[in-house]
């Protein structure tokens, strides 16, 4: 099982830019495991001020060489769950002809098809498929919502230091797929 970017010019064409992974044809580029900012960019000052929503389309493809029979679940866990500045939600969707999924106009748009679910922690895992044939897959919309912190009105120095540390930390997330 591997996760692939979407947004390729045609099926299996190279496309490894997370910002361009907004649905359409499945690329031939595997999403690198453990790479910072592989799918979403760092939270910028502009994005933080806007409190924005960003969406990416990816595909989970069965590359095991055999059919996978049984339920397949997905969830995510933040590496450092304290002071997270983003909420992650996932929406599984059916691929079109096993080659593509709905395409959105840009990373700030929402797809027409799919219901997003909060998947933080194993207790919030969602069923994405009841089996996947070899070389087939499922589309996944990933939505990141920036959580804008409350403005500082009155804060002591010790609390300010902790507050600023959380503003600068990277949002590292592990995605777990169970089958």
Q: What is the mean pLDDT of each run of 10 residues along the chain (179 residues)?
A: 97 96 98 82 72 91 96 91 82 96 96 96 97 97 83 67 63 85
User: Where along the chain do its domains lie?
Assistant: 2-178
Q: How many CA atoms lie within 13 A of 151 on its CB side?
A: 2
Contact 22, 142 (CB under 8 A): no
pLDDT in tens, 44-91: 767 666 668 999 999 999 999 999 999 999 999 988 766 677 899 999
According to DSSP, the residues that pair with 123 across neighbouring strands are: none
Q: What is the CA radius of gyration of the chain?
A: 17
Distance of CA 7 to the CA centre of its chain: 15
The predicted model scores a pTM of 0.87
């Amino acid at each position: 099982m591997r996760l692939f970017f979407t947004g390729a010019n045609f099926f299996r064409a190279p496309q490894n830019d997370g910002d361009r992974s907004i649905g359409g044809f499945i690329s031939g580029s595997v999403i690198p495991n453990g790479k910072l900012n592989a799918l979403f960019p760092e939270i910028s000052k502009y994005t933080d001020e806007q409190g924005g929503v960003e969406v990416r389309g990816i595909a989970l493809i069965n590359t095991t060489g055999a059919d996978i029979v049984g339920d397949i679940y997905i969830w995510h866990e933040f590496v450092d769950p304290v002071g997270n500045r983003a909420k992650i939600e996932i929406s599984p969707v059916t691929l079109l002809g096993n080659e593509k999924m709905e395409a959105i106009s840009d990373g700030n748009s929402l797809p027409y098809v799919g219901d997003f679910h909060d998947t933080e922690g194993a207790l919030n895992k969602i069923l994405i498929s009841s089996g996947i044939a070899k070389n087939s897959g499922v589309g996944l919309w990933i939505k990141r919502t920036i959580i804008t912190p409350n403005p500082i009105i009155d804060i002591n120095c010790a609390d300010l230091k902790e507050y600023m540390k959380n503003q600068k930390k990277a949002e590292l997330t592990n995605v777990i797929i169970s089958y």
